[in-house]
A and B are shown apart, each in its own frame.
Chain A
Amino acid sequence: MKKSLLALTLSAAGALLFTGCATKTTYVDPNSSRLVTSVGKIDIQDFAQAADAMTQSLITDQISQDKLHSSMAGEPALMAVSRIQNNTGQQLDTDLLVKKIRVALNRTGKVVTSTTMGLGGPEDPLAADQQKAQEFFNDQKHTRLPDYTLSGKIIEVRDHAGSTRQASYVFQLSLSSASGIAVWEDEKTIIKQGSRASVGF
């Protein structure tokens, strides 16, 4: 009796121990506040925050004031994405910022983005070929040029004081008209502090 009780207790303890040691993986809402925050790099939520701030600024300053004009009557303004410079020490894809802004602007119904015109060639090569074919068959003299271009820069500034590490990420964007004038500009800074070089797994 005593042996069986001991065996049972040991089994229960073993089960609890192994359950506690098991690696638990869960899905996390990308919009939640429970994401891992790293001081040494730009996290996914930082891109979302910066994109949100830039979109809010663009809508407040330009779109909601009907300041963006299209060269084609009845059509939304056409925007092309120009150079978004990465001046940080990290390898990152600037589309993590730009795509969110493009999606938000598209949903306003006031601005659309060209996928056939951009720095570095067309984003969608098939769409570019189709566009050329359509222009040829419709006897169009030239492609519709973008009304605006979006350019910018991401800058990283690192500081430390004692055991406190601080990383500042500055997101700068400009919207230029066809005549090369910046009709909108804004800057968003995200600053993160940690007691040591905190790195997310």
Chain B
Amino acid sequence: MKTNRLLFLAGLAVAATFLPGCTTTNSVENAQPVAQRQMLADKRATTDASLSRRVAVIGVNTADTPAGFLRVQVQIQNTTRSVQSFTYRIEWFDENGMAINLPTNVSIPKTLEGKETSEIVVIAPTQRAKDFRIKFLEPTN
């Protein structure tokens, strides 16, 4: 009897310690969105299966600005119930597939709450940029 009670209290203590860290996100949006997204057929190379299981890429869409700059939007979702952190980096390529290097090409940290969906929106640094690649990495520090 005493042992059972002790086990029950221990279980409560463990739950109290770990459950507060699992916060998920509720969201509300237009059921019939007005915006029409131009979705892209993307190619994915997954070498970090654990990251792709936790942070999933739902879709990629693009648009051109009036001045001809390419805009890219990547929709991502945290598939777990706890906060997930990762970094991402965008690489741009011109019409010949040559990489466009800039000092602002940097790894950017991002955090998603449990089950949160978010968008990464980027714009090409130059009108010459016609293609892109987005890399996702687990944080190292």
Contacts and interface: CB of A to CB of B under 8 A. Distances in A.
A104 interface: yes
Interface in B84-133: 87, 89, 100, 102-109, 122-127
Interface residues of B, number: 27
Contacts of A149: none
Interface stretch (A8-16, A63-71, A171-179): A63-71
Given A31-B89, A34-B140, A64 B123 contact: yes
Contact of B104 (A37, A63, A64, A104): A104
Contacts of B100: 107
A36 B126 CA distance: 30
Task: Report, as a range, how many residues of chain A touch the other chain.
Answer: 20 to 34
Nearest to B68: A64
Contacts of A63: 67, 69
Given A34-B140, A64-B68, 19 more contacts: A33-B139, A45-B107, A48-B106, A49-B106, A52-B104, A55-B125, A59-B69, A59-B124, A63-B69, A64-B66, A65-B67, A66-B66, A100-B104, A104-B102, A104-B103, A107-B125, A108-B125, A108-B127, A109-B127
Interface string A42-56: 000100110110011
Interface in A87-144: 99-101, 103-104, 107-110
Nearest to A100: B103
A32 interface: yes
A164 interface: no
Contact of B125 (A32, A36, A48, A59): A59
Contacts of B122: 56
B141 A37 contact: yes
B123 A107 contact: no
Interface of A: 31-34, 36-37, 45, 48-49, 51-52, 55-56, 59-60, 63-66, 99-101, 103-104, 107-110
A49 B102 contact: no
Contact of A51 (B104, B124, B140): B104
A52 B67 contact: no
B26 interface: no
Nearest to B106: A48
Contacts of B137: 33
Contacts of A110: 67
B123 A59 contact: yes
A55 B104 contact: yes
Contacts of B108: 49, 52
Given A32-B107, A64-B69, A56 B102 contact: no
A48 B139 contact: no
B123 A48 contact: no
B65 interface: yes
B126 A48 contact: no
30 contacts: A31-B89, A31-B105, A31-B106, A31-B107, A32-B107, A33-B89, A33-B109, A33-B140, A34-B140, A34-B141, A45-B106, A48-B103, A48-B104, A56-B122, A59-B69, A59-B123, A60-B123, A63-B69, A64-B67, A64-B123, A65-B65, A65-B66, A99-B103, A100-B103, A100-B104, A101-B104, A104-B104, A104-B125, A107-B100, A110-B67
